[in-house]
Structure 1
Amino acid sequence: MKHLRSTLTLAVVAALAAAFGAQAQGSRPNTASTASRGITDIMRAPQRFGAVPPAPRAPAAPTTQRAAEYIVALVNSEPITNSDVQQRVARIIEQNPAEAGKIPRPELNSMVLERLIGERAQLQVAKEQNIKVDDVAVDQAEQTVARQNQLTVEELRKRVAAEGLTQVEFRRDLRNQLLLTRLREREVEPRVKISDLEVEQFLRDQRTSPNAALAPDINIAQIMVAVPEGASDAQVATLQQKAQGIAQRARSGEDFAKLATELSDSPDKANGGALGLRNAERYPPLFVEATASTPVNGVAGPVRSGAGFHVLKVLAKVQAGASDATVTQTQVRHILLRTDARLSNEQAVAKLAEFKRRIQGGTADFAGLARDNSQDASAKDGGELGWSRSGQFVPEFEDAMNRLAPGQISDPVVSRFGVHLIQVEGRRESKLTPAEQREAARNALREKRLDEAFDTWSQEVRARAFVEFREPPQS
């Protein structure tokens, strides 16, 4: 299934960068200020896949009517207003007050304006290339944001409203981030080529100086004890005590996956709480920091996020391409319906939802439906994709796959290739073959190179845009 294989990880949860300001990746503002560089992570876009606790969004409060309305710049004749700048500035200050406080406000305003100019120019390129995002994809992105913040969609909508963002504005942010993601997939990925010589050099460097290699991939499992919004101090204390009790049971040797299945409030409990092997950048910083010194099979926490208390277990730490690497592999199959003018996303989702009902009702067989309907090379094999490991599928597919326990079937999943129905058939721990070690090394190098290619591409888009500056933004 070559059409599914990809190392590009600009997933739909890039929307989190716009909605909740989670740590993200992408181009950096061009500034020499040390303090300014300290907040560039917040200003980057879009982010790698990973669950993150929600950070409150603080809408800007313009001091005057004029400050809310006047135009500060035109990007190919499209305006950016002062209120656009101040809303983004307010998010940054809310998310990182210590670093933002070191930067003079005019400089911060200028940095944010430049970031908005870049985004606006990229959205205009997406429009020129007729890249579109339909409501089904936005719905799925909203569900992803909710899930990764340990919220229901309804709870997410209430939180968004409470933080001053209308549902229309929130969905517009989601749609724009999806547009940018698809544009970058189209424009940036083809630029990155990794030669066999580079792979060999990487493997040699790793053997001679492991510390010089790229950061390892990690697999973390969690048990979450949810804390309701508005919980009293007494409720929080009781829930913290519950989480501490779970952590103690896990450290005493009880089966972590069984504890997760029975006690976790997180949707990934069906998979024993495992979040999947991925680069540390695709995990919440809170989880990475909490487990940094935790050995494999060790338990950390509980740690507190905006969603609740998390007990964490390190399932694996794998250096890309290492000869002794052991990874979790998943046996998976799918049915793919490609969308076009004759079949919309909505129609494909409805058709695959009906397939799922028939399979679960015992009136149809997954392999048979895949052979008759799947629109890819796996159809002849009943949709079988074989045994895979982290990084072999695009993020939207892999995210859904990782949440499934063996035997489970997903709801329809929208990806850049169409709409999928996914079934996990099994999981196992397996040592990488020499060929797989080389592929893992190639993917790790490619991932790093994509960052550099994105920086170059975004600078090119910015340079091509005609920008007319008006009055400077003011708080």
Structure 2
Amino acid sequence: MMRSPSFKQALATSLFIGASLYSHIAFSQGSVKPSVVVETKIRNIDGVAAVVNTGFVTRKEIDDRVAALQKQGGKLPDPATLRKTVLERLIIEKIQMQNAQQDGVTVSNSELDKIINDIAAKNKLTLAELKVKIAATEGSYQRYRDLLREDIIISRYREREVEGKIKISDAEVDNFITDRNREAASVGTSASAARSTPAAKGAPEEIDVAQIFIPVEASAGPGAQAEGKKKADALLREAKGDVDFLQLGAMAAKENPKIKFQALGYRTPDRLPQLFYEAIRNTGSGQVANVVVKSPAGYHVLKVLDRRALLAGAPEPQQAAPQNAVPSTPQNIMVTQTLSRHILLRSRAGLIDQDAERRLAGYRDQVRAKTADFAELAKKHSEDGSAANGGNLGWMGPGDLVPEFDQAMNRLQIGDVSDPVKSEFGWHLIQVLERREAQLTVEKQRQFARAAIRERKFEQAYQDWLRELRDTATVKIINADDPASSPR
């Protein structure tokens, strides 16, 4: 549903609205090689925390980011862990900025002027009044311009690089539709449904695996890692009991939108992640893997739904299906479709829930008071691929959107604007434009499947890209623990 961000300059402009201007913007210095005088000044005044390729991260930058996070409120780790986490974030931002500049990603002065004028107009200020407000919060209008320019450059570079890494095959689309129909058919059925004929020892086979995934970033601190492992262990204990794994996964995802439940469908061992296959190699049909699987993305609780023989040149055996099962082949069906648009603020480090909810509530109040147009707000502030079209998501049928979004949208009358809604993608503001009864064609199902797969792949592609950037950069950490005012 929600595409990767394609107009991140809208994100940059939206950060102005609120208690502070760009309190959590990327405080990177760029990739311009410093002169000896500048280098000496940085070392003497701020103190260098890390050398990143040809640039620096200073202790003053860490102090500023920590202060901004503390000002936002919310639960933060202990000071030492917080400084290390902030330093790592600044290093990543520095690398992105350097690479973006080397690749020629720029923002012209005229573009920047237009964005700043839009910010002023959005806040019902003249440019002169905006400068006064910036001086009271940022201290320098020129610094504000520099930070805004850097944030837009990084956002454009990130979009270009990550989007290019996502590839979706027709086979993946076919499997997605088939799996979805099979999951729908399994609702209300017992976990003890008939199993396929197992493969003889050593013979080719296909394995139907489902997972409950608890995401934890590789860069997360020990506390977050321990919390993720604790939750995964608890789910594994429940899964080994007398419960339906499909229902357990659905409930876990409902209670915590960050947790994802996924049926991978029938796959040969070479098409399963190696970590998964090693964990379920000797696990029989209907059994749960003995241990939680740890990957760079988080923790996985696995269950083998079925194992079946794969005979070369012979038709694949069919799994026994309940009488009311949904056909595995997509059919044209009549559904109620909703035309809606939204503004999305994606979940990310530095954006706490209270801040995202407050910003969207402000946009909602403006639309309801008819002082702002929803589409224009979406173009400027939404962090979704639909931003260019005013947040328009097109006609969507039942189940095409994540449950939280779908439920909130279905409660709205035509023309209504929702309160802020949280999903696994972030925070949404939703407006319903129209409804209709329509036939959902096979081709439309394929379009929806492709969009869903892209969204699912985006986060993993983004994290892989960040790790690749970090691994290929030359980074030397000098002193991250002491604030800038402390003597070296």
TM-score range, shorter chain: 0.3 to 0.5
Q: Which has the larger radius of gyration?
A: 2
TM-score (norm 1): 0.46
